[in-house]
Amino acid sequence: MTQLLRPALTGIALCLSLVPAHAAPPQGEGVAWDIVADLTTEIGPRLAGSPREAAARDWAVARLKALGFQNVRVEPFTIAGWVRGAESAALTGPYPQPLHITALGNSAPTPAGGLTAPVVYFASLDALKAAPAGSLAGKIAYIDHAFVASQDGSGYGPFGQARRQGPAIGASKGALAVVIRSIGTDRNRDPHTGGTSFPDGIKAIPAGAVSAPDADLIARIAGKGQAMTMHLVLEGHAVGELPSGNVLAELPGRDPSLAPVLLACHLDSWDLGTGAIDDGAGCGIIAAAALNVAKQGQPLRTIRLLWAGSEEVGVFGGAAYAKAHAAEPHALAMESDFGADRVWRVSFNLAEANKPLAERIAAALAPLGIPVNAAKAGGGADIGAIAKAQSAAVIDLDQDGTRYFDLHHTPDDTLDKIDPEQLAQNVEAWTRVVAIVANEAGAISGAAQ
């Protein structure tokens, strides 16, 4: 469908009809595809702070320069580093069985040889919160609670708290370790990693997530009221400060006095997969859209790309960007970090005075079948700090999240999961929006808080 809207591509699409269906998509759609394909092939997993994240920055600088971006640079910062180690788990009672587990980022390591302890089953995070102080001493706290897939991915916020907060809550009640059901919607045996955190004053403990089928097994045994014991080996551990950085690139506008339009994604990934949907695709989409807009003529405003570092482990890149660019006004920010499936809705956080601008954007997206969401745009992790600090406008091109949490933070986050046609639809939607906002002469700002 998207190709029909772009007559210039028809010839290319015809040429490629000789290519097998599973080969690379047409070159006209190729910038986004090539970025995510090459990044996942030539770099692959790029955990925040790791040598592979550094290699990704070098790769990104070379690629963005080759694509014609200007002022391509790295803005370095440091993070509290964490590295993965050996990881395994097994039920040792009442029914000895291996489990598929992965450590959560910021997990403390288990002692040499691992640990074996009784399991206390909690059906939800709220149940863990209600456990008496000290009641988990010498035990492994286990947190269940599945969430269901939805187009807007709304289950991830509330249910993801089991991962974000659960380990610290367990630690505060004396637990030796916390294990959770993976924060995901698939039925595969792959566990989902992701960051957790331990606030000041709470000592970090080992924390891991088991796959959905293993979580079901644990729930069945708990449902019979049988006592469980678990053996855990989670050797991931903190390693002190590590280098990270943001990669910035620009297409300078005709009027440097106007505030730039910021387009963001994140370059780091979790280490289990190759970071295709999270978030190589986002980096491809925003770069391709910016170049498409520039092809229509030099935009009025500068378009700036932020390929943020270290998003997954604490949004350090977004925070570093907001700090480094605090003195520079930002009109509008957008982020692509929810996979590569179709844009199905647009959400705005625009000042009342920018209503006509929102109407023009809505009219440009309507032919793609993309309606306006009545609720305000929430933005994304990496633009959150700068947009909030400056009350900048935010526009979200909401992607279909129905299958996103099947793959998110798993070994299955790989290139083959990206549908080239849906990726191209993203680029088309982004191109239409960026073409309008980057050529807007009037003031742009967010809605009053």
Residues that bind Zn ion (CB under 5 A): 278-279, 337
* Alpha helices (runs of H) in 278-376, residue ranges in sequence order: 281-295, 316-324, 355-365
- Quote the tokens at residue 361: 């954007």
Q: At its nearest, how many Å lie between Zn ion and the CB of residue 283? A: 10
d(CA 85, CA 111): 12
3-state secondary structure at position 26 = coil
Q: At its nearest, how many Å lie between Zn ion and the CB of residue 187? A: 22
Q: Which is nearer to Zn ion, 190 or 278 (CB)?
A: 278
Pair 398, 349: CB distance under 8 Å: no
Indicate the Cα dihedral angle 399, 431, 307, 191, nearest 10°: 20
Q: Which is nearer to Zn ion, 57 or 301 (CB)?
A: 57
d(CA 279, CA 285): 10
Q: At its nearest, how many Å lie between Zn ion and the CB of residue 308? A: 9
Pair 394, 383: CB distance under 8 Å: yes
Of 164, 234, 170, 175, the residue nearest 206 (C-alpha): 234
Q: Which is nearer to Zn ion, 218 or 418 (CB)?
A: 418
Q: Which is nearer to Zn ion, 153 or 446 (CB)?
A: 153
Cα 302 versus chain centre, distance: 25
Diameter of the chain by CA atoms?
70
Q: Around Cβ 400, how many Cβ atoms within 10 Å? A: 20
Q: Which is nearer to Zn ion, 285 or 357 (CB)?
A: 285
d(CA 105, CA 193): 7
Q: Which is nearer to Zn ion, 34 or 278 (CB)?
A: 278
Q: At its nearest, how many Å lie between Zn ion and the CB of residue 185? A: 16
Q: At its nearest, how many Å lie between Zn ion and the CB of residue 266? A: 5
Q: What is the DSSP letter of 367?
A: G
Q: At its nearest, how many Å lie between Zn ion and the CB of residue 16? A: 30
Q: At its nearest, how many Å lie between Zn ion and the CB of residue 333? A: 16
Q: Which is nearer to Zn ion, 206 or 384 (CB)?
A: 384
